[in-house]
Chains A and B, each alone.
Chain A
């Protein structure tokens, strides 16, 4: 079983739609969870950073973590064409443990005007 699984899509939605992106993981040692956005030929740009289970909101973005199910989600409300990018989930162990980020494969999102 892969450590982090993410549906690569592609996902195509109309402008204004609510987008749901998800990752599952197998390693219960993961404690920190991140979502990065990657535009073509650019590096991963940090969107959300969470530690505990529950929801964290930042503008149109909401990150959700369910450690009991080993499942994380990113919701994008009122999606815009500028949200078109690849979204990467990433996670790491707790402080003092391994610092490496383990990434999902990324979901390619297109928001159509």
Chain B
């Protein structure tokens, strides 16, 4: 069964450094998303992306965050200058037209 793939599974970064989280959505899906889950808290929406542009973003998704679909298969989330409070699990999701979202297994981001 096709699945969303995320790399790396765990990323450790010094505070203030840039980090890029990578996702390969399910092929032929058109809608892409990033969510995060801080330990012990709810899964929270960050951003949705369709037709090469952001369609919606939350208040968490400030100027430090950006997303990109650099080619036909990858979808990335960049955090420009990481803060301690960015430590969380980051999940990528994708969906086809009129379909529910399917999630990857996440990247655990640890900021030191």
Contacts and interface: CB of A to CB of B under 8 A. Distances in A.
Interface of A: 32, 34, 36, 41-46, 49, 88, 90, 95, 98-106
B100 A34 contact: yes
A94 B66 CA distance: 26
A95 B98 contact: yes
A112 to B, nearest CB: 24
Interface of B is mostly: strand
Contact of B91 (A43, A46, A105): A43
B81 interface: no
Given A44-B43, A88-B43, A105-B41, A99 B48 contact: yes
Interface residues of B, number: 24
Contacts of A34: 100-101
B102 interface: yes
Given A105-B41, A105-B42, A43 B98 contact: no
B28 interface: no
A44 B44 CA distance: 12
Contacts of A104: 42
Contacts of B18: none
4 pairs of A and B residues whose beta carbons are closest in the complex: A100-B45, A43-B103, A103-B43, A43-B105
A41 B10 CA distance: 11
A43 to B, nearest CB: 4
Contacts of A90: 43
B106 interface: yes
27 contacts: A32-B100, A34-B100, A34-B101, A41-B105, A42-B106, A43-B6, A43-B91, A43-B104, A43-B105, A44-B43, A44-B91, A44-B103, A45-B103, A46-B103, A88-B43, A98-B56, A99-B31, A99-B33, A99-B48, A99-B55, A100-B45, A100-B58, A101-B35, A101-B43, A102-B45, A104-B42, A105-B42
